[in-house]
């Protein structure tokens, strides 16, 4: 959560800060602010609301300077107010700081600081860090840039929790300090200046190269050179300079009204990209270069554990059904925020996969680190090959979905399910899946992008259904087997985008309590393709209709039974049963999008949400 952009160099910092924040607004949009060193004095501008509000504030009260830090906030401690917006100053007013993360011991630190005469201007945990660093620097004999580095080290040793910080001090000229623990932060390197950013995408096009700070590192930069060290004084890990050309660049909406709409329609291409170079036609299998294990080692995997949060967890659940079907390797799915605190036994032969679109999800990263500590091999499935999960895991798979700007995940879900399907194919072929079956599956995978494109042609049908049901106060989502996770994902998308109350259950659970929610004003959405459990789904639909509940069904093309029974039907192309989740989720993504638009919601930036959940 929250986005940080900093600049120090030869040009005016403000245009970089504002545009960079706009690119990072998916990380938080409760408030925004910037601190700029202007003729030896730090000037701060803040605004409540989107980054556009900060842009207007700076137009009304201009500021310029060749170094600055900025922030777009997702509120954790303290309400959405001007006082709580970043940057925050120290007691002297000479130091400004921006922060992403959570200070777990902020109350104790605040009490200690108040006992020493500090008067806080906000309710945030962030202000504790600014005052700790400022106090340490003011009491330090060395008032140089090195002195600020040492003061920051001393202060950060007292902080428990997570942070990525950017610091500016008006006595030190064009000089930025940065540090990270638990939250991502990168340095951008350009010819005329240097940058800080929570995500390299924020500075793409300005910096030619970038450096990810590793866990527990502190850095300082002056526009021409930079240094990195351990916060605890230890030697840093070798600095890896990466080309910015490989970093995701913020896109435009093109012909689409919203990023979410655009990203839904990009899925044929994102799925093609996920398969590119990974299917081995003559062997009827798949391969992943990021999983550097011999066939003998892979055959020793007796259990897989998938862990993730939100949409990634739903994709993992779908993958569980698919992989067990294709490879007969047992799979367990764990919600990362719970898994990290459980004392779950890990048997020999267990491999753990951490699923995260951003690769920075705090709970998933913490769960992965705990598993690594216990000795199990860990692998990341992420959409950012430079992310913390990707770098700290023992290997992994890049989704290649391209940057997802809309806060609600769409194309990353289908890419995750596809990657897990290919993983199941690979493991199955190493066990007892026959060559002919492998080639049949591979052929089905190759046709998938075209089937997705065909499915997306139901857009107008779904828009009409959305208009019909947009006033509903609640929805039920129901599905069987691998389409139960699709029900979960459809329910999640609708509540994220439209703020409508939803719940999802396996269809067979209807009679075990869920049916009490059925009434004439609550639509039930059944994911009911023509698979082996189609007749079972029909029986559940009959139960809802017998109680006058409206039913929307997602079925298979050519099916007349659903049309006769249900109030509204959306049909998707026929495909192999294990691929239906990738097709059936598409009408649900479109339904959430169109209902959100119909209700006047900001579908790209839903209230209270942020794209990358980097705090617990």
For residue 376, what are the β-bridge partners? Answer: none
Is the Cβ–Cβ distance between 315 and 421 less than 8 Å? no
Where would I find the H helices in 376-458? 388-392, 411-429, 435-455
Tell me the C-alpha distance between 217 and 238, whole Å.
Answer: 11
In the residue annotation, 249 being an active-site residue is answered as no
Q: Per the structure block, which two tokens stand in for 16?
A: 């970089």
Please enumerate in sequence order all residues whose Cβ is within 8 A of that of 26, keeping only pairs 6 or more positions apart, or say none: 405, 406, 407, 604, 605, 610, 611, 612
Best CA proximity match to 456, nearest among 268, 274, 190, 259: 268
Residue 91's pLDDT is: 95
* C-alpha 119: how far from chain center: 36
- Reported as a single tens digit per residue, the pLDDT across 374-424 is 889 999 999 988 888 998 999 999 999 988 989 999 999 999 999 999 999
User: Is the separation of the CB atoms in 506 and 556 below 8 Å?
Assistant: no
Nearest to 187 by CA among 237, 236, 239: 239
CA 59 to each of CA 337, 352, 514: distance values in angstroms, whole numbers, following the listed order = 42, 50, 54
Active-site residue, 2 included: yes
In 3D space, the residue among 276, 491, 487 whose CA is nearest the CA of residue 401 turns out to be: 276
Which single residue is written with the structure tokens 């393709």?
Answer: 529
Query: Considering the entire predicted model, what is its pTM?
Result: 0.86
Q: What superfamily would CATH give domain 259-598?
A: Glucose-6-phosphate isomerase like protein; domain 1 (3.40.50.10490)
Catalytic residue among 493, 495, 605, 611: 611
DSSP structure class, residue 236: P
For the chain, percent of residues with pLDDT exceeding 90: 80
Residue pLDDT, tens place only, 504-529? 999 999 989 999 999 999 999 999 99
Q: Per the residue annotation, which of 2, 333, 566, 575 is the catalytic one?
A: 2
- The answer, yes or no, to whether residue 337 has pLDDT greater than 60, is yes
Quick one: CATH architecture of 3-246?
4-Layer Sandwich (3.60)
- Do residues 585 and 570 lie in contact, with contact meaning Cβ atoms separated by under 8 Å? no
SS3 at position 482: coil
- How many Å apart are CA 386 and CA 610, to the nearest integer? 20
The answer to whether 44 and 70 are in contact (CB under 8 A) is no
pLDDT digits (tens, 9 = 90+) for 272-307: 999 999 999 999 999 999 997 888 888 889 999 999
What integer is the mean pLDDT of 241-259? 77
What is the pLDDT confidence band of residue 345, given thresholds at 50, 70 and 90?
confident
Which pLDDT score, from 0 to 100, does residue 614 have? 61
Q: What is the pLDDT of residue 517?
A: 93
Rounded CA-CA distance 151/520 in Å is 65
Residue 294: predicted pLDDT: 84
Q: What residue ranges do the domains of the chain occupy?
A: 3-246, 259-598
* Predicted local confidence at residue 249, as pLDDT: 52
């Amino acid at each position: 959560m929250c986005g940080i952009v900093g600049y120090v160099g030869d040009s005016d910092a403000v245009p970089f800060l504002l545009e960079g924040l706009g690119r990072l607004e998916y990380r938080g949009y409760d408030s925004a602010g910037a601190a700029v060193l202007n003729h030896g004095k730090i000037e701060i501008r803040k605004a409540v609301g989107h980054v556009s509000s900060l842009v207007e504030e700076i137009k009304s009260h201009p500021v310029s300077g060749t170094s600055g830090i900025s922030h777009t906030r997702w509120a954790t401690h303290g309400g959405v107010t001007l006082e709580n917006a970043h940057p925050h100053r120290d007691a002297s007013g000479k130091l400004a700081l921006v922060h992403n993360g959570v200070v777990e011991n902020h109350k104790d630190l605040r009490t200690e600081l108040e006992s020493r005469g500090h008067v806080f201007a906000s309710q945030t945990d962030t202000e504790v860090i600014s005052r700790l660093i400022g106090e340490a620097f003011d009491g330090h004999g060395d008032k140089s840039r090195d002195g600020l580095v040492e003061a920051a080290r001393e202060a950060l040793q007292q902080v428990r929790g997570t942070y990525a910080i950017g610091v500016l001090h008006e006595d030190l000229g064009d000089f930025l300090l940065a540090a990270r623990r638990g939250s991502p932060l990168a340095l951008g390197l350009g010819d005329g200046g240097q940058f800080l950013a929570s995500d390299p995408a924020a500075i793409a096009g300005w910096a030619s190269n970038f450096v990810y700070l590793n866990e527990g590192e502190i850095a300082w930069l002056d526009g021409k050179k930079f240094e990195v060290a351990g916060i605890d004084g230890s030697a840093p890990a070798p600095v890896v300079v990466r080309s910015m050309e490989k970093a995701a660049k913020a896109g435009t909406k093109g012909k689409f009204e919203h990023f979410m709409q655009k990203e839904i329609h990009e899925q044929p291409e994102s799925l093609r990209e996920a398969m590119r170079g990974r299917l081995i036609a003559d062997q009827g299998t798949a391969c992943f270069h990021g999983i550097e294990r011999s066939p003998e080692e892979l055959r020793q995997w007796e259990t897989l554990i998938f862990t993730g949060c939100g949409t990634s967890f739903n994709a993992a659940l779908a993958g569980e059904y698919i992989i067990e079907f294709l490879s007969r390797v047992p799979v367990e799915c764990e919600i990362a925020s719970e898994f990290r605190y459980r004392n779950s036994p890990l048997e020999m032969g267990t491999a753990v996969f951490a699923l995260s679109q951003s690769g920075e999800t705090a709970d998933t990263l913490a769960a992965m680190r705990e598993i690594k500590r216990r000795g199990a091999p860990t692998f990341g499935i992420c959409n950012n090959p430079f992310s913390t999960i990707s770098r700290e895991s023992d290997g992994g798979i890049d989704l290649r979905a391209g940057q997802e700007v809309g806060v609600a995940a769409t194309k990353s879900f289908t890419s995750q399910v596809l990657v897990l399907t290919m993983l199941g194919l690979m493991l199955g072929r190493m066990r007892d899946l026959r060559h002919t079956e492998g080639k049949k599956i591979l052929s089905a995978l190759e046709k998938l992008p075209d089937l997705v494109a065909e499915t997306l042609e139901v857009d107008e049908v779904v828009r009409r259904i959305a208009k019909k049901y947009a006033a509903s106060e609640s929805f039920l989502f129901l599905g069987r087997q691998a389409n139960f996770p699709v029900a979960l994902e459809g329910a999640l998308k609708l509540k994220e985008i439209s703020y409508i109350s939803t719940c999802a259950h396996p269809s067979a659970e209807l009679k075990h309590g869920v049916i009490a929610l059925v009434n004439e004003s609550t639509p039930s959405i059944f994911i009911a393709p023509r698979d082996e459990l189609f007749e079972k789904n029909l029986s559940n639909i009959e139960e809802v209709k017998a109680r006058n509940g409206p039913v929307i069904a997602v079925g298979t093309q050519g099916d007349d039974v659903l049309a006769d029974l249900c109030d509204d039907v959306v049909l998707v192309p026929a495909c192999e049963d294990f691929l239906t989740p990738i097709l059936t989720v598409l009408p649900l993504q479109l339904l959430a999008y169109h209902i959100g638009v119909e209700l006047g919601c900001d579908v790209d930036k839903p209230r209270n949400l942020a794209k990358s959940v980097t705090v617990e």
